[in-house]
Chains A and B, each alone.
Chain A
Amino acid sequence: MPTAEELRQTRQIYFDDVSEGMELPPYIIGPITPTYIFRWSAAIENWHRIHYDQDFATNHDNLPGVVVQGTWKQSVMPQYLKNWCLPDGWVWKISIQHRAILVPGDTITVWGKVTKKSEKSGLGVVELEVGMKNQDFIESCPGSATVILPINGGIPVPYPFVAP
């Protein structure tokens, strides 16, 4: 995970720098603790008991214990991609599925891989495969994304974003 200072100094990756098959630098998060999970529930006011009530999670929902929220995963993914395309790129679309659960003790690797690149209306359109694996390489959050990168020497990515 980048620090504030690293995010402040991020240098732009241009469309020209990207190739199909290229892997994004992964994020390693964790080990996750129940406190992280509780803090997320509190921040977004998610009262679903499977995230903080161990007895309910195991005896009612037959889970191994409290589990990481899907909302956290769906928020980490745009964060990861946003940081990759800072300062001037734009994360346009993300689609993820929630597969394997993540639980306290897991160390999570957020990853991305470029699957396709194309130019449209002077902008770089980059398609990615993305996901989130635990330490046993079990995929928890497979999906895809579309990120818009500036072309070196080209026009700026519009903000507010307008689809090319």
Chain B
Amino acid sequence: MPEEATKLTNQVKEMIGITGEKVECWNAIEKEGLRRFTQALMDPDPRYWDEEFAKSTRYGEIITPPIYCAYLQKTPPGEEDPVTKAFREDPQSDGLGNVTRPGDLPPIPTDLKRILNGGNEMELYKYPSLGDTVSFQNKYADISERVTKDGTHMLIVTQETRYWNHKEELLCVTRLSLIRR
């Protein structure tokens, strides 16, 4: 493809492999967060809330849904409200693109504005326990380019995130494919 058309510039390629800071999530795994999440997921599994039953399972304790730990990247209280910041900087913010979270990777240097969730990969190893603190670390695992039939250039950004408990046990690995177009 002509070099001037490509969105996979050298500057973009240099982002591959960039790893973010390892961040400990503010709150430990707790019942109320788990209740809210599992009800929104519509998963009534008693392994998430019935302590007596959970003790009788192979896990011996309350567990979380498989990728629950992927949703703990909340802004700690006391830090600047990311939503207010996003709309102050851009009153037309889509609520996603310029909303920052702890551990975020530096933005991809591209003029492609729209961001779509193209797909996900997950590898699961362990459920965190109640009281566990979870840490995570993001990495740009890959960035490639796709050109549609009508000649539109898109970037496929693969962001890998690893999650550990406070004992440094690997909980899961997720790979998110973000389409920039």
Chain A residues with a Cβ under 8 A of chain B: 1-4, 7-8, 29, 36, 39-40, 42-50, 53, 56, 60-61, 69-72, 74-76, 78-79, 82-83, 87-88, 90-98, 143, 156, 159-162
Contact = CB atoms under 8 A, between A and B. Distances in A.
Secondary structure of the A contact surface, majority rule: mixed
B20 interface: no
A3 B66 contact: no
Nearest to B115: A48
Contacts of B44: 2-4, 7
Given A90-B124, A93-B123, 15 more contacts: A42-B40, A46-B96, A47-B83, A50-B94, A60-B94, A75-B41, A75-B65, A75-B67, A78-B122, A87-B58, A94-B121, A95-B122, A98-B117, A161-B124, A161-B126
A131 to B, nearest CB: 12
A29 to B, nearest CB: 7
Interface string B35-61: 011011111111100100100011100
A82 B53 contact: no
B80 to A, nearest CB: 15
A93 B121 contact: yes
25 contacts: A3-B44, A4-B45, A7-B45, A40-B40, A40-B41, A43-B37, A43-B40, A45-B71, A47-B83, A49-B93, A49-B96, A56-B94, A60-B92, A60-B94, A61-B94, A61-B114, A72-B40, A75-B41, A82-B65, A87-B58, A88-B58, A93-B124, A98-B116, A98-B117, A98-B118
Interface of B: 36-37, 39-47, 50, 53, 57-59, 65-67, 71, 74, 83, 86, 92-96, 99, 114, 116-126, 169, 177
Given A43-B36, A49-B95, A93 B122 contact: yes
Contact of A160 (B36, B114, B125): B125
Nearest to A46: B96
Nearest to A52: B95
A96 B122 CA distance: 9
A78 B67 CA distance: 8
Contacts of B59: 159
